[in-house]
Amino acid sequence: MDLKSNHNSPILTDPAPISKSRLGVHLNMLPYASAPGVGFSPNMLLIPRKKTGVLDDVRASSWLDAMKSSSPPPNRISKDDVNELSSLDPDFLYRNWMIKYPSALASFDQIVPHAKGKRIALFLDYDGTLSPIVDNPDGAFMSDAMRATVKEAAKYFPTAIISGRSRDKVYEFIGLSELHYAGSHGMDIMVSDRHSTDDQGKEVMFQPASEFLPLIDEVYKSLIEITKGIAGAKVENNKFCVSVHYRNVDDKNWNALANSVYDLLEDYPRLRVSHGRKVLEVRPVISWDKGKAVAFLLETLGLNNCDEVLPIYIGDDRTDEDAFRVLKERNCGYGILVSSVAKESSAAYSLRDPSEVMEFLKSLVTWRKSSAL
Ligand SMILES: [Mg+2]
């Protein structure tokens, strides 16, 4: 594996993790290299110190709207998306939506010619993409069939998991050492040089938000306290971010929950809130997201030459849009949105649910095997 980086995005970095790295690669191949023009030099730190307010994603007056629009119930279209069509039949709306976001399965024969003579790099979200969305976030297990499919895909394509969960948690769910993992919305990256679970290959770690750890831990404890009285609320420590799940909270209490979270965050100007699928995500205010993580991985893995590599990113959530945008802006590769409802996206294609994701991954492997003959 060719581990390298000349990424230019100014971000908050901390040189500490690299000293803990088990890698033996040359320094100038690492994200923290300080050669001129190398983006991960400590002298390129960008730390937003000014009190920006916690309402980066939504205004206070529209918390409830944002919570509802980020959590469309099955078979009903989000009012933010195509409001004027909301009285129409959902199936009709979905079929209409698929004109703009065609099924990656139905369009498979149009996609794969673009991969001819190239390596495919796979980026996969976890919740809602490889595993079903379930009421208890601790129970979001992937099926054995999905695990076997991802394992097989990783034999043919460099494969990375990009999740909002902590890296340890998502690894626990997947358990495949041959994959690369980016947890905490890409803020905790482990690049693997292993080819199987038994392989003793090297790993490189990159944690652009490591200085936020004590702050995140503190806010996690406070969030546990302040949500105690709200039935169904669940707070999850994802290491570099904290998730407040409201999937099991009665919707008449959503406003109270959001108020509690935003009130607390008034005291933490270096943290912000973003909205996922029935979850409020408390994250550090740094210029880093799933899109930056994808760009970082492409460079670090030596996969950023568009003439040689076709990246494919599959995800279901708002936070995956950052990654879709990166591929779209580079005009390199495809974003595939997993959704059973119509919603605006920067993805190029769609898949309806994790079972279609599995079918798509299997098709890619079959195609690669046959094209190698
Ligand atoms: Mg997801």
User: Cα(38) to centroid of ligand 1, in Å?
Assistant: 31
User: Cα(270) to centroid of ligand 1, in Å?
Assistant: 25
Is the model's pLDDT at 313 over the cut of 80?
A: yes
362-to-74, 212, 276 alpha-carbon distances in Å: 26, 39, 28
User: Cα(317) to centroid of ligand 1, in Å?
Assistant: 5
- Whether the CB-CB separation of 216 and 237 falls below 8 Å is answered with yes
What's the confidence (pLDDT) of residue 63? Answer: 67
User: Cα(164) to centroid of ligand 1, in Å?
Assistant: 8
What is the DSSP secondary-structure string of 214-260?
HHHHHHHHHHHHHTTTSTT-EEEE-SSSEEEE-TTS-GGGHHHHHHH
Length of the chain: 373
User: Cα(1) to centroid of ligand 1, in Å?
Assistant: 28
User: Cα(265) to centroid of ligand 1, in Å?
Assistant: 24
> Pick from 4, 3, 58, 8: which is nearest to 292 by CA?
8
What's the confidence (pLDDT) of residue 33? Answer: 28
User: Cα(128) to centroid of ligand 1, in Å?
Assistant: 5
pLDDT digits (tens, 9 = 90+) for 340-349: 999 999 999 9
User: Cα(163) to centroid of ligand 1, in Å?
Assistant: 7
Q: Which two tokens stand for residue 344?
A: 């605006």
> Pick from 341, 370, 365: which is nearest to 353 by CA?
341
| Alpha-carbon Rg for the chain in angstroms | 20
User: Cα(5) to centroid of ligand 1, in Å?
Assistant: 27
CATH superfamily of 101-207+287-370: HAD superfamily/HAD-like (3.40.50.1000)
What's the confidence (pLDDT) of residue 294? Answer: 97
Three-state DSSP string of 7-59:
CCCCCCCCCHHHHHCCCCCCHHHCCCCCCCCCCCCHHHCCCCCCCCCCCCCCC
What's the confidence (pLDDT) of residue 277? Answer: 85
User: Cα(319) to centroid of ligand 1, in Å?
Assistant: 8
User: Cα(125) to centroid of ligand 1, in Å?
Assistant: 5
More confident residue, 94 or 90: 94
User: Cα(84) to centroid of ligand 1, in Å?
Assistant: 27
What's the confidence (pLDDT) of residue 53? Answer: 39
Architecture of domain 209-282: 2-Layer Sandwich (3.30)
* Spatial separation of the C-alpha atoms in residues 359 and 373, rounded to whole Å: 22
pTM metric for this prediction: 0.78
Please report which confidence band the pLDDT of residue 177 belongs to, taking 50, 70 and 90 as the band edges: very high
User: Cα(277) to centroid of ligand 1, in Å?
Assistant: 8
What's the confidence (pLDDT) of residue 115? Answer: 94
User: Cα(315) to centroid of ligand 1, in Å?
Assistant: 6
In the chain, residues under CATH classification 3.40.50.1000 are 101-207+287-370
What's the confidence (pLDDT) of residue 42? Answer: 27
What's the confidence (pLDDT) of residue 40? Answer: 32
In the chain, residues under CATH classification 3.30.70.1020 are 209-282
The residue-averaged pLDDT of 193-206 equals: 70
Highest mean pLDDT of the ranges 76-80, 259-263, 275-279: 259-263
